[in-house]
Structures are given as C-alpha cells and as structure tokens.
Amino acid sequence: MTPGSVLFVNARVYSPSVPFASSVLVHNGRIAWVGDDSGAQVHRELAETIIECGGGFLAPAFVDAHVHATSTGLLLNGLDLSQVANKQDLLDLLSKFSRHTHGAPVIGHGWDQSTWTDMSLPSRAEIDRASWGSEVYLSRIDVHSALVSSALVARAPESRALQGFGDFAVTATAHERLRTVALNHLNDPARARAHIAFFDHALSQGIGSIHEMAGPAISSQADAKMLGERSRTGLGPHVFTYWGQLASDGGIDVAREIGAMGVGGDLFVDGALGSRTAALRDEYSDSPGNTGVLYVTPEEIAAHVGSCIEAGYQSGFHVIGDLGMDTVLSGYQLASQSADINRLRQGRHRLEHAELIAESHHAVIKDLHLVASMQPLFDALWGGEHGMYRQRLGERSAHMNQWGSLLSQGVSVCFSSDAPVTDVNPWAAIHAAMFHHNPAEQTTARAAFSAHTRAGWRALGGAFDGHGIIDIDAPADLALWRVDNFAVQVPDQRVTQWSTDPRSATVPLPDLGDATNFQAPQCLLTMVNGRILFRDSTFDGFDT
C-alpha cells in the first residue's frame, strides 16, 4: 500500500506524550495527529484508509540493531540445525537435505553442542560422507565456528595453514576464510531469495528497521550493496549497514561505496564464548590454558577510531570477553588522547554484544558515550546454573550481559537478535531482558521496549533522535498487535500492583507473562514509512 492518509482508530496507542490516545492519523509517511476516537471523527473524511484496530496495541515498529540478513534468510530457506541433539542427528539431517540439493552447496546453521548429552562433533570425513561430497558450510549457533566439508576446503586450501583449522569444527581465522568462500559462492538469485525471506519474516515480527552487520569476513561488499538496494525499493524494513573492516585495510572507502552508516559493527576484537574464542582475562573453565583469541591491538583500534572520526563515520567493534573489552576500551582511550574528545563522544560509537564486562569498564563506557548493542536472548539461551556460560566461565557467568547495570548508570543500550544466532523475536527479547537469570540485571518492560525501539534509532546518531516514537511529525514506522492482557509490568511485582493505577497516566504494555511463561502478542500489521508492508491474514480491520 503506497503512502497516503491512514487513520487508526480504537487502539491502545503507545504514545507517552499522549497517554490516553486511541487514534493516530498518518499522512505521507509521517504521523500527522495523535488523539482519542472522538477527536478522530474530524479526520475520517481526510483518510484514504481507516483501520479499526479492535482494541489492539499500536506502537512504534521494532528496531533490530544487529542482524545478518542474508545468513538469516538462508537459514529460513535452508538447513536448520537448531534442534539437533547429537552428532548423529546432525549427520542424518545433513544427509536427507543433501539428497535434494543435486550437488549444490549446502548452507546450514544452528548446531550447539553445549546442549548435547554427548558433545562429540562429527569429523570432516563424516560430513563428506553424509553430504555426498558436496560443498558444506554448517555454522555453529554463535557463527564463530563451523563444520565444513573437504570440497569447501578444496576451494580455499590456504585455510589449512590458518589459526583454528582442524578435522572437526574450524574456528578463528580459518573459519573466517571458509565462511567468506562459502557465502561468496552464492549467486544473485540465491541472495535475492534470502533477502526476501528475511524481510518478510522481520516484517511479520513488527520490525521496521534493521542494522545489518556486514563485512569481508561475514558477507561481501556485493551482498551489502544488494541488500541496501532492495531496501530502497520501499518493500522491506529500513536497512542501515555497518561495514566491519579496519580503516587501514580500506574499510572507509568500502563504507562510502555501499552507503554504510558506520565502519565497524562486526569488526572483530575477539570471537565467541561458545566457540571458546572470546578473549578472556582468565582461562576458560572447561579448556585449561585457553584464554581465547584477540584479533586487533589497542593501537589498531585507536587508529581506526581516529580515522572514522575524521571521516565522519561511527566506529564499532564486536567484543565479548573481558580481555576483549579491556582491549577495545584501551583503544578508545588512546584515541581520545589525540582526537577531539567531544567529537568522539558525539559519535555514539558502538560496542556490539559486550557480554562479559567488568565493573571498571562501566565508567569508561559512560564517559565516552559509547552505545552497547546487546542481545537479551543470549541470556535466555545460555545463562543460568546449567547453561553454556556456566560451562565456559564457571562463577564468572553470573556477571554476563549487564544491561540492567548499564541502563541504571545512563549508558545507551539498544537490543537486537544477532540473527541468525537467535530468533528474530523482539517480544521474546524484551521478556528475556525483564527476567535475566541474574535478578540484579533485570529491567522493566518499559525500559526494554525502549531499548528495542527508540534506542535502536538513537544508536544511529543524533539525526535519528526523533524516530521510534508515536508523536506529531515522527516517521510512521508502526506495528499493530493483538494482545490478550495489558500491564505496567516490571520484574518486582510490588511495583506492578500499584503502578497500574490509571491516574498515573503510564501507558501500559502487553503482559508478557512471568519468568517461565512467555505470552507472545500477535503482529497484525507492520507499517514502514507510512506503507503497510505486512498484514496478517486473520486481520480484517480495513475500511477504504
């Protein structure tokens, strides 16, 4: 549906500036009026379309601030290994899938041996037999290691001499090389199918904007450019691309060519905990002597940040371990000694993931106005007494994913899925943020909702501070939800009980259930720039 005048009526509107609103008028892609249903009567004749919301929840569309669109689309169309319980399950599924590909490359994702009773991985020879000799790339859930076939290795024989090459999973620089070869082998029609699959899925989850984390070790320049071009057709969410390559390697030049927002994002300081490549101060609890991998030095980080500031770009780094955070913050502090400190602070430079940070890191992050881009579903998947974090880190796991501490100190935090690492499901992420395994890191539904909407826009820079809200003249990126129950919901039930008083003029959010019972709202409609790009087949509230 092309932009025009659309009037939403009989809704529960999430507009803190107009807390009792039930109607919204959209005109030419922007919000023209917010009020109640009686006030909406005067706008009915102006509207080309009237949408009867039936008491549904009308809110800003979500921002997923860290995704890999092509990889996620390939998973939606390809081999999903997220449910396999052991290596034989994986091999059986690979064999069945390969029989139908007629020798074409096999791309799969999602295995996580930390959840298997027997954590043994299949060898490369077993992958070869199961795939009938096809080129195979099967990424672990964290996308920092993979099972690959001999046919794929034959296309990049230099990977045998790289760090992390072995007969089972490949990690570190060997994985980066083989991943690049596997994904660059895709042709344009395959990429287009993956992009469409991802866009359709994101829109069905109420997502109106994504931050695509591209780079030479993740996707390709051509892929990033193609994804941006598809976005500009207006048929999907907004796409803001980050290119993860050091300025010294030409990253700024590529960013200019593809129209990227920043030169960073998944620019790797270290690896991931699941693959034991995140850089730690102390050794892994389940891998004595191993402290992970560092890919850059503080001096390289400082030089990159300085170049980005001079070129007018955001910088940003993938950083997970505490030693990785030591390294990246040392780099930013070095940069602050030579660069204009105010320009550095105004840049809203980003820390992607920031899973294991020390208390001493908080003040530096706040002082330099860095943005923490975090993934609540990481804690839901791997936190707790019996989770993967505990296996890898022991007692240190209690201090993972400190969004509650960072938010309480005024640090800017935005939420995302890191898809395909976790599901594209913003409400599930909000629920996970509210019920962090560590009660000290739990946050309110309101703060979590803001982190998955407005904060994602603010993470792009000051030019986007007016986005992600329902207010006059804000861009019309909206989602309508069918909701069973509403609540002013916080982790502490004592607060929930008194803060639902209507006189507080606090806008309620969907009741997402308790810690063990997630209740998901149903997306009925998603609007981007005033265009309705998703409509659930069960929703019949249109009057044109």
Mean of the pLDDT values across residues 520-536? 97
User: What's the pLDDT at 505?
Assistant: 55
3-state secondary structure of 408: helix
**Pair of tokens at residue 203:** 């829109």
Q: Would you say 184 and 70 are in contact if contact means Cβ atoms under 8 Å apart?
A: no
Q: Would you say 512 and 431 are in contact if contact means Cβ atoms under 8 Å apart?
A: yes
Would you say residue 1 has pLDDT above 50?
no
Would you say residue 12 has pLDDT above 50?
yes
User: What's the pLDDT at 503?
Assistant: 41
Per residue in 160-174, pLDDT (tens digit) is: 999 999 999 999 999
Other beta carbons within 10 angstroms of residue 214's beta carbon come to 28
Would you say residue 253 has pLDDT above 80?
yes
User: What's the pLDDT at 3?
Assistant: 58
**Pair of tokens at residue 390:** 């505990």
pLDDT category, 506, cuts 50, 70, 90? low
Torsion angle, CA of 80/110/413/387, rounded to 10 degrees? 130
Nearest-CA neighbor of 375 among 325, 321, 415, 322? 415
Range of weakest confidence among 23-32, 56-65, 189-198, 358-367 = 189-198
CA 4 to chain centre: 31
What percent of the chain is helix, strand and coil (3-state, nearest 5)? 40, 20, 40
User: What's the pLDDT at 504?
Assistant: 46
Mean of the pLDDT values across residues 133-161? 93
Q: Which helix (H) or strand (E) holds 33?
A: strand 30-35
Q: Would you say 318 and 327 are in contact if contact means Cβ atoms under 8 Å apart?
A: no
User: What's the pLDDT at 329?
Assistant: 98
Per residue in 463-502, pLDDT (tens digit) is: 999 999 999 999 999 999 999 999 876 555 433 333 344 4
Other beta carbons within 10 angstroms of residue 364's beta carbon come to 17
Per residue in 107-133, pLDDT (tens digit) is: 898 899 988 989 999 999 999 999 988
55 Cβ neighbours under 8 A, 6+ residues apart: 10, 11, 12
More confident residue, 90 or 42: 90
pLDDT category, 45, cuts 50, 70, 90? confident
Range of weakest confidence among 64-68, 244-248, 370-374, 539-543 = 539-543
User: What's the pLDDT at 257?
Assistant: 95
What is the distance between the alpha carbons of residues 334 and 326, in angstroms, rounded to a whole number? 12
User: What's the pLDDT at 495?
Assistant: 38
The three-state (H, E, C) secondary structure of 196-215, written as one string: HHHHHHHHHCCEEEEEEEEC
Residue 84 has, within 13 A of its CA and on its CB side, a CA count of: 26
User: What's the pLDDT at 496?
Assistant: 36
Per residue in 223-241, pLDDT (tens digit) is: 999 998 888 888 899 999 9
Per residue in 266-283, pLDDT (tens digit) is: 999 999 999 999 999 999
Percent of the chain with pLDDT over 90: 81
What is the distance between the alpha carbons of residues 174 and 153, in angstroms, rounded to a whole number? 10
pLDDT category, 13, cuts 50, 70, 90? very high
For 377-381, the CB contacts below 8 A with 24+ separation are 377/417, 377/422, 377/423, 377/425, 377/428, 377/429, 377/432, 378/353, 378/418, 378/421, 378/422, 379/432, 379/436, 379/437, 379/441, 380/428, 380/431, 380/432, 381/141, 381/422
More confident residue, 217 or 478: 478
The alpha-carbon radius of gyration of the chain (Å, integer) is 23
Is the pTM of the predicted complex or chain greater than 0.85? yes
109 Cβ neighbours under 8 A, 6+ residues apart: 71, 74, 75, 78, 79, 80, 81, 82, 138, 139, 141, 143, 420
What is the distance between the alpha carbons of residues 370 and 327, in angstroms, rounded to a whole number? 15
Q: Would you say 26 and 32 are in contact if contact means Cβ atoms under 8 Å apart?
A: yes
Q: Is 494 exposed, middle or buried (0-12, 13-18, 19+ CB in 10 A)?
A: exposed
For the chain, give the mean pLDDT: 92
> Strand 371-374 to strand 350-353: parallel, antiparallel, or no bridges (unpaired)?
parallel
Burial 508-536 (b: 16+ CB within 10 A, else e): bbbbbbeeeebebbbbbbbbbbbbbbbbe
Would you say residue 364 has pLDDT above 80?
yes
